[in-house]
Structure 1
Amino acid sequence: MSVSHLTILDNIPYGRAFSNLITFLRISEWIDKIQMNVGAAFIIILVLVYNDLKFSPDIFNLISIFIVYQCFLGCYGYAINAFADRKIDAIVGKYKGVSFFTKSQLFIILIFLSIGSLAIPLLIDDLRIKVLGIAAFFFSAGYSMKPFRFKSRGFIGIVGATLPQRPFMILFFGLLANAVSEIMWILVGWALFIGIIMEIGHQMLDYSNDAASKAQTWIVQTEFSKVKTYSFVSIFFFLLFIFLPVFYFNPEIGSAISLIMLVLSGHSFFYFLDGWKKYKIAVTAVK
């Protein structure tokens, strides 16, 4: 939601509180992940229909559950990160949304989001989904909260941020829709590496601020040459999973799937490229 839209909200009852909440939850920064994951869900359905394989008949209700769950978990992940890093971010003026609320209000918001993030998978009668939901919640909280704080533990922070937002979500849908299949696992691999690429890009964009505030993210701790190597390796595996359907399925359906995956990856990949340019300039300036 743009700044102009948030300004309009200020003129209606409770509009200011709502616009503050949107700013705090940083919805614009994670909504693209839902679009990508829903796109992946439709790819799974497309392949199963094409191959005349069975999946849950109540598919559109399940997609609704899938979207609502991602909204809760996405909001929770970004909210808990903003809460945990509020003092560090204040040093460089990052993510001011947290300052709109008192500590008690922040706790209420976090409790509400955590209940939604946990209740949805735990209420589903499938042990695999329950375990996956707990794991997704753990990685979302552990990314920035002590004693785990994965974001300060090297490359595990990149992977830890990626898992609950992308690959776990596609796996969640596959289990929810009884659609565990070869294409689902290909999409899980693709989601993992495009997620890693985007998280590297995110840390690249934050490099100057994180270095100034002494936040020990992987990018801040790692030499430029090593960052470059990890980035290229991640891009290689991302492209491998993109084009795998062309060779795994027949040419018609495989090419269609690869094209859809490529389109869905566009925002994340260009986000990485933007981060790469700014990171390279920042590192060169330091040298």
Structure 2
Amino acid sequence: MNSLVHRYLNVNGQLLDLSVPQVMGILNVTPDSFYAGSRTQTEADITKRVQQILDEGATIIDIGAYSSRPNAENISSEEEMRRLRMGLEILKRDYPDAIISVDTFRADVAELCVKEYGVAIINDIAAGEMDPDMFETVARLGVPYIMMHMQGTPQNMQSEPHYDNMLREIFMYFAAKVQQLRELGVKDIILDPGFGFGKTLEHNYELMAHLEEFKIFELPLLVGVSRKSMIYRLFGSTPQEALNGTAVLNTVALMKGADILRVHDVREAVEAVKMVEKIESYKL
């Protein structure tokens, strides 16, 4: 559907076909995620959430222990790994065949997760900017790498986002990063434009309006808009009230070429994929 390039990701030796968009379910093991409904900190809560993600049709589980919401607390790598271990132990024990992605910008955390728990994908909000060892680590591990565009850090990204030409700057950013990764031998690279990360409300909608232009990279595109402020601030509501807006933007993203949707609400995203696929089937 999304490109003439038939895309696959090598996940733990198996090929994940992206010719049909995939849904990534969010598993937060943080006490302070911006969306309270997604926080899981006990073994029972984590197991329940994992089962829900899989039952509703996601193919990837994205586990994260470092909240990247604006002004989030900067925790140590030891604390991040401590939080991750509980979730990863459950996943390894009870869901050994699940495709797991770890949401971290730290190379040492990424390496531990891959080597000790068989994590298949690294999802880095900082594209190597917050840990200079990340690119070489990903290359050595040989796992797919999701790199996101973010202006600043989670602690300051929303203070005063500014671009002279946002789209040009993001494209140049990714072009340089992709070249670096290719030179290191990284084969599977996924781009995430970084909705809500160092971007104003207007920036986010401008980015969505031009999303199809990322096809120039001929790389898989991940979109994460789930319950973010670009939705609820437009309506003066809250993350808890942003499900409908999330479904609308996910559908727009799919029609503009998104290959992976990163979401809190899996069932609704899976339905969006099925509906868009149905529409697209009549264009063939």
The structure with the largest strand share of the pair is 2
The structure with the largest helix share of the pair is 1
User: Who wins on radius of gyration, i.e. which is larger?
Assistant: 1
